[in-house]
Amino acid sequence: MFFLRKYSRIIALPLAVLMMAVTMPLGVAQAALVGTDQVVAPSQAEADRARVAAFVAREDVRAEMRKMGVDPDEAKRRVAVMSDVEIQRVAARIDQTPAGQGAIGVIVGAVVLIFIVLLVTDLLGLTDIFPFVKRNNR
């Protein structure tokens, strides 16, 4: 008890300063309406950034970059430091560019389409191409 009385003045001064600092009035809070575009834009930018980063991280894209003489890791770093507007442009181009399709896919698609057209015409009795199609004799 004697110890507290002896050092009470030394302890009281910092506590009084601390109490005054805590009870000081703070700045006035500001409130305003926030538009939807202000809320959605940052989240859209992050989604676009993630989409572009995922595109650059794909192995087939990395292989094409190596063929073109571009270091994939450098491209990844550059994507990370792009502005929101640049990321939005790149993400829009990724969405607009057609998916790559080889010549084999085009040929197979054309063959299947021709087969279906000939089969339908054979079923309707307009042609006699396929022997496995049974026609009604009218």
Q: Where are the domains of the chain?
A: 36-100, 101-138
List, for residues 62-90, the tens digit of each pLDDT value: 888 888 888 888 888 888 888 888 888 88
Element at 97 (helix H, strand E): none
DSSP 111: H
Question: What end-to-end distance do the CA atoms of the chain give, in Å?
Answer: 121
Please indicate whether residue 129 or residue 1 has the higher confidence score (pLDDT): 129
Structure confidence at residue 101 as a pLDDT band (50, 70, 90): low
Place of tokens 């595109």: 55
User: Per-residue pLDDT averaged across 111-130, rounded?
Assistant: 86
pLDDT(137) > 70: no
List, for residues 16-60, the tens digit of each pLDDT value: 888 888 888 777 778 888 777 776 667 788 888 888 888 888 888
Structure confidence at residue 95 as a pLDDT band (50, 70, 90): low
Distance (Å, whole) CA 129 – CA 120:
11
Q: Are 111 and 121 in contact (CB under 8 A)?
A: no
Token pair, residue 59, equals 């192995």
